[in-house]
Structure 1
Amino acid sequence: MFKILLIEDDTTLYNEVKNRLSQWSYDVYGIENFSKVMKGFSDVKPDLVIIDIQLPKYDGFHWCRMIRSHSNVPILFLSSRDHPTDMVMSMQLGADDFIQKPFYFDVLIAKVQATLRRVYNYNTEQVTLKTWCGAAVDHERNTVKNDKGIIQLTKNEMFILKLLISQKNKIVTRDSLINSLWDDKRFISDNTLTVNVNRLRKRLGEIGLGDQIETKVGQGYMALEGDPV
């Protein structure tokens, strides 16, 4: 599991990026004191750094220089500044890529994966793994594993779990689930959905996660994790 240090002072954006990256099994850390970025870097020992240019105290270029003086860890700049000199400066300082705000999260994920793959030469099958409630969810093998054991799900059960986790702590309507399953050519009725969700919850209960799938009467289902939003 790769560790990513996200040096971003916009709390809303930080939380959103962290949430998206966490869904791909990355451990994401932030900076509390922007006067001591290097201490945070030393404490985390990240495999990749994502950094904004405009930061409190010192800008991202300063911290990029500092990081480069100690480490060859890959660095991605994430900034609303779009002047060519900013992009040139970031590359001259040793950054691996420059992503301009606003951006598509799919593009950010793709660049993170490509950079880690190039630098660490890891197996791309890792992208099939996601974490949820401390468990490793393997979409390729249809398994969920934590310290209490491992369970094997059917393809329909895993498909439903994947959809719920993709919007964790948010209600996914029954119609949305049925339509997604139907579009995926997994022909399913309203009653079949109920049976599959109940079976999924029972299987998850074997490793202590049954209560993490919550039924919202008259609405749909919710995959819980942490504090619901």
Structure 2
Amino acid sequence: MFKILLIEDDVTLFTEVKERLDQWSYDVHGIADFSKVFEEFVTLKPDLVLIDIQLPKFDGFHWCRMLRTHSNVPIVFLSSRDHPTDMVMSMQLGADDFIQKPFHFDVLIAKIHAILRRVYNYNTEPIKLKTWCGATIDYEKNTVTHPAGTIELTKNEIYILKLLIEHKNNIVSREHIISSLWDDERFVSDNTLTVNVNRLRKRLDELDLGRFIETKVGQGYLALEEAHYHD
């Protein structure tokens, strides 16, 4: 049974979401003290976090930033705020998805299913390590190790990188990445993918590898091998 931490101060919404998720045999937990979200997260060790932006004490962005310093657990924002910068900010902080309130529960369930299936199933593949441009990619630990150092990626970032490396030197369409990553592209903003790829490239820049991920305007992205890279 997957444990879900629902960080939501609206008691009515919390109760409704919990009841719906209980029907799918998810183990849903709330927050007792909104000044100790991080401590409760560490104690619970959830498999997925659903979090609102507007919360007592500190907002959801604050807690997302703190959780990402400790864990790569999937994080999904649920928010009534509809400004594009909110979604961009959530993705930049390492969230896996952003769902605007009011939402249809079928959409929420579909997204949760997709994220949990992707995060906790694809790592069962026999090949755990992959070399690319002088770096070793560990799909199990979500790390990229290079002579310049080691970085740890989020689940979305490692999955996008994995997909691009599997098709190295070939363009992978935006549509293919979105459908592979989120299962149902009807519920995903095109900007969500852009933010995720930009964040991946920025992290890879720490190892001087970001230049090997190219954007093909109107087509998609590709991961180059070092031998195919030209300044």
Q: TM-score, normalised by structure 2?
A: 0.52
**Partner Cα separation in structure 1 for residue 119 and residue 30 of structure 2:** 22
CA-to-partner distance for each residue in 1:206-228, whole Å, 9 max, x for gaps? Answer: xxxxxxxxxxxxxxxxxxxxxxx
**Partner Cα separation in structure 1 for residue 119 and residue 94 of structure 2:** 14
Q: Indicate the residue corresponding to 2:13 in structure 1.
A: 13
Q: Indicate the residue corresponding to 1:27 in structure 2.
A: 27
CA-to-partner distance for each residue in 1:138-179, whole Å, 9 max, x for gaps? Answer: xxxxxxxxxxxxxxxxxxxxxxxxxxxxxxxxxxxxxxxxxx
Q: Deviation of residue 100 (structure 1)?
A: 0.1
| SS class of match (1:113) | helix
**Partner Cα separation in structure 2 for residue 21 and residue 78 of structure 1:** 15
Q: Indicate the residue corresponding to 1:125 in structure 2.
A: none
Q: Indicate the residue corresponding to 1:105 in structure 2.
A: 105
**Partner Cα separation in structure 2 for residue 83 and residue 109 of structure 1:** 23
**Partner Cα separation in structure 2 for residue 40 and residue 30 of structure 1:** 9
Q: Deviation of residue 32 (structure 1)?
A: 1.0
Q: Indicate the residue corresponding to 1:130 in structure 2.
A: none
**Partner Cα separation in structure 1 for residue 5 and residue 64 of structure 2:** 12
Q: Indicate the residue corresponding to 1:177 in structure 2.
A: none
Q: Deviation of residue 104 (structure 1)?
A: 0.3
Q: Indicate the residue corresponding to 1:91 in structure 2.
A: 91
Q: Deviation of residue 59 (structure 1)?
A: 0.1
**Partner Cα separation in structure 2 for residue 69 and residue 47 of structure 1:** 16
1:68 aligns with 2:49: no
Q: Deviation of residue 23 (structure 1)?
A: 0.5
Q: Percent identity?
A: 81
Q: Indicate the residue corresponding to 1:221 in structure 2.
A: none
**Partner Cα separation in structure 1 for residue 75 and residue 19 of structure 2:** 19
CA-to-partner distance for each residue in 1:60-111, whole Å, 9 max, x for gaps? Answer: 0000000000000000000000100000000000000000000000000000
Q: TM-score, normalised by structure 1?
A: 0.53
Amino acid at match of 1:31: I
| SS class of match (1:98) | strand
**Partner Cα separation in structure 1 for residue 90 and residue 42 of structure 2:** 21
**Partner Cα separation in structure 2 for residue 36 and residue 47 of structure 1:** 19
Amino acid at match of 1:70: H
Q: Indicate the residue corresponding to 2:4 in structure 1.
A: 4
Q: Deviation of residue 51 (structure 1)?
A: 0.1
Q: Indicate the residue corresponding to 2:59 in structure 1.
A: 59
| SS class of match (2:70) | coil
Structure 1: tracts of 5 or more residues without a match: 123-229
Q: Which structure's CA Rg is the greater one?
A: 1
Q: Indicate the residue corresponding to 1:162 in structure 2.
A: none
**Partner Cα separation in structure 2 for residue 47 and residue 93 of structure 1:** 18
Aligned residues: 122
Q: Deviation of residue 39 (structure 1)?
A: 1.2
**Partner Cα separation in structure 1 for residue 15 and residue 53 of structure 2:** 18
**Partner Cα separation in structure 1 for residue 41 and residue 19 of structure 2:** 20
